[in-house]
Structure 1
Amino acid sequence: MHLRPARLAAIGVFALAGLIFWVSFNTAQGTNLRSDSSMLRLSDLIQERSRQNAELDSQAASLHRQVDNLARRDDGSTKGQDRELSDLEKGAGLTQQKGEGLTVTLDDAPTNATAKVPGLPEPEPNDLVIHQQDLQAVVNALWKGGAKGIKVMDQRLISTSAVRCVGNTLILQGRVYSPPYTVSAVGDRDALQQALRSAPAIQNYLEYVDAYGLGWKVDEHKAMTLPGYSGTVDLQQARPVD
């Protein structure tokens, strides 16, 4: 029996999640993540699984394009129906999005960072790393600012995308990333900038930028292209056990 690339990618996601939960359990038991050889090997394995998931995503995207092209050629639809389908796919984030926009880069502070403002307490380890709430605040602000599409790292976000962090590691749609993190959006640059400046969660983050040296950079682009989302769009829901 042959498993489709999308099915394989899903299996990879569950395997990756299991590995991460195991790391968390071992850490709770007092394992030294910086020196323990088994943890270092496990980290390598997680990175390799992430690379395999990326390859499977690419294969799945290629197959999706082939299927879509065949379906449109043989489905007997009218030109008007094809245009309507194209508009729906664009709105769902399944096709490329082009236009002006900006990219936000967030990064951890140096591990030896000290308070940059007199009178502030010296930082705790959690003060020096990017958290899930920081990335989510940027994404939410950009959507509020009218973004037509958003990409985190090299992956397009859709309505079911979830930005998740374990420690200072980002897990997005079955793949693992380390800082610095980039969030790119296509849309009116002035509106996007204003949305970033007015978001309370980002204002709080910028206080830590000034206090402890967390990374923050916003680059504007006159023209940029976001890729279409290439993963599965099947919706799933939990059901009670009888």
Structure 2
Amino acid sequence: MTRLRIRPVRLATLGVFALAGLIFWVSFNTAQGTNIRSDDSMLRLSDLIQERSRKNAELDASAAAVRAQVDSLAKRDSGSSAAEERKLTGLEKAAGTRKVTGEGLSVTLDDAPSDATAQVPGVPEPQANDLVIHQQDLQAVVNALWQGGAKGIKIMDQRLISTSAVRCVGNTLILQGRVYSPPYKVTAVGDQEKLRRALDASPAIQNYMQYVDAYGLGWKVDEPKAVTLPGYSGTVDLHYAQPKE
């Protein structure tokens, strides 16, 4: 009777040790003798993202070349009048598919140093999110430049159009299928004085400037004499629009 009462306890003990051994074996097999806290998988993912971004850039360039040939042939065979051609050119400029040249302004935003500390008395020490450029910061600059009468805007090397979306994941910009890291450069063609006033008047940018002063986020405004923005060459995917008469 005593043996019958003790046996289940022994079985339970053996089961616990067996389960612990299985857990250790699975952990070792997963790590394959390496540190399971390693960032190797994240590095591989980053490399994959960068490779896809480069591939997208190559496909964009190839598609743009083909589209240019098609447009050239269509224009040659269209039989349009000079007035119709001028109207078409104006629509293309408004849509952002034609390059635009003129005086302009560029804004460069950058992350603060990772070891930055508060530079203004009374300001709390920064958190990680206080030291990086966020989506709303880039959107604030773009919106202010449009408000200032910009004839065209590009971020990095890509022209913005009405369907362009500025999205950030962490401190990485994803724009029209391509990935960018800071510093971010936003360039606009337009009246420099009006563009500068629009930047200064933006409440969102005024808030950003407080972080520039407090933690050292990057902010630089240049006024080049001549700026040329490329025409948008990507695909246009409209979901909520009606043709203009």
Distance 2:189 2:40 in 1: 43
1:234 deviates by 3.2
Residue in structure 2 matched with residue 57 of structure 1 by the alignment: 60
Partner SS, residue 226 of structure 2: strand
**Structure 1 residue ranges (4+ consecutive) displaced by more than 4 angstroms after TM superposition:** none
1:133 to 129, 133, 136: 136
Residue in structure 2 matched with residue 152 of structure 1 by the alignment: 155
Amino acid at match of 2:157: D
Distance 2:237 2:115 in 1: 45
Residues 112-191 of structure 1 mapped to structure 2, 5 A cutoff: 112-191=115-194
Residue in structure 1 matched with residue 89 of structure 2 by the alignment: 86
Distance 2:211 2:145 in 1: 20
1:236 deviates by 3.0
1:76 deviates by 1.8
Question: What are the Cα deviations for residues 170-190 of structure 1, in whole angstroms up to 9, with x where unaligned?
Answer: 000000000000000000000
Distance 2:61 2:157 in 1: 12
TM-score computed with the length of structure 1 as normaliser: 0.83
TM-score computed with the length of structure 2 as normaliser: 0.82
Gaps of 5+ in 1: 1-30, 238-242
Partner SS, residue 225 of structure 2: strand
Residues 21-100 of structure 1 mapped to structure 2, 5 A cutoff: 35-100=38-103
Number of aligned pairs?
Answer: 205
Residue in structure 2 matched with residue 233 of structure 1 by the alignment: 236
1:101 to 99, 104, 124: 104
1:215 deviates by 0.2
Identity across the alignment (%) = 75
